[in-house]
Amino acid sequence: MDDRSLRMPSDDEIAAINTQHLIETPLRPADLLFVFGTRTDVAERVDAAVDLWRGGFARCAIVSGGITPGDHRSECAIIKAAMVARGVTSERILEEHRAQNTGENVVFSLPVIDAVLGLANVRSVICLGNSWTARRYPMTLHRHWPEVEKMLVTVDGFAIPRAQWHTVPEFRRRVLIEWDKIEPYKARGFIAEWPVG
C-alpha cells in the first residue's frame, strides 16, 4: 500500500503548502483564545498560550481535548493545569474534556462557550494548535461558527524555519497527512474554506 505521507513533495506542492496551508495571520487582541488539545508538543502549546495571555491577546480561553491514551487525565486537564501554573487565571479558562478530534473540539466547545460567554458576545477567536495541522483549525471553526473572526497561531517542537518543513522526515510526514485531509474534509462538510475572500 502506498503511504502518501512518505512521499517527497514537488517544489510546486511545497510552495502550495507554504502559502495555502502553513499560513500566519496578523494578530490583534481577541475575545477568546481557543486552545486545541494535543498529545505532542504540549510545552510549546502552553508556552504560546501563556505568551498570548500575558501579551493581552485574549481575555478568556477555552481548552478542548479528551483523555490522552496512557493517561487518566484529559488533554484539557493537562494543558489547563500547565497554563494555570504559569500564571493564567484559572477562572478565565473554560474547559471541554471529551473531544477526540478537531471537529469534536469545536462541536463540543461551542455549547460551553455559549453557556459562559454567549456566542454572540464573542466576535474574534485566536486558534492555537500544531503547525502541521495549520489552517484546518480555523477551517473547522469556520464550518461551525462562520460569524466569528478567526486568527491562527501554530507551534511545534521542530527547530527549523517553518518553510523548511519538508527537510525533516517526521515534520514532512505530519504536514502531508494534514494537507491531504483538506480537500476530502471539505467535500464531506467537516471544514469550510478559510480564509474567505
Structural domain spans, the chain? 4-187
User: Is the confidence at residue 117, as pLDDT, over 50?
Assistant: yes
pLDDT of residue 34: 98
**Integer Cα distance of 123 and 117 in angstroms:** 11
How high is the pLDDT of residue 102? 94
The predicted pLDDT at position 10 comes to 93
What are the pLDDT digits (tens) for 25-65? 999 999 999 999 988 889 999 999 999 999 999 989 999 99
Q: What is the chain's alpha carbon radius of gyration, rounded to the nearest angstrom?
A: 16
Hey, what amino acid is at 186?
A: K
pLDDT at 118 over 60: yes
Residue type, 166: H
Q: Do the bridges between strand 149-155 and strand 124-130 make them parallel or antiparallel, or are there none, so unpaired?
A: parallel
Percent of the chain with pLDDT over 90: 88
Instruction: Find, among 46, 74, 53, the residue nearest to 155 by Cα.
Output: 46
Architecture of the domain made up of 4-187: 3-Layer(aba) Sandwich (3.40)
Residue 104 pLDDT class (50, 70, 90 cuts): very high
pLDDT tens, position by position, 128-166: 999 999 999 999 999 999 999 999 999 999 989 999 999
Return the pLDDT at 68.
81
All residues at 6 or more sequence positions from 34 whose CB lies less than 8 Å from its CB, including other chains: 61, 62, 64, 105, 109, 125, 126, 127, 128, 137, 141
Whether residue 194 is predicted with pLDDT greater than 70 in this model: the reply is: yes
Q: Is the pLDDT of residue 184 over 60?
A: yes
**How confident is the model at residue 2, as a pLDDT?**
58
Q: Is the pLDDT of residue 20 over 50?
A: yes
pLDDT for residue 1 is more than 60: no
pLDDT value at residue 197 = 60
DSSP letters for 103-158: HHHHHHHHHHHHHHT-GGG--EEEEEEETTTTTHHHHHHHHH-TTSEEEEEEE-S-
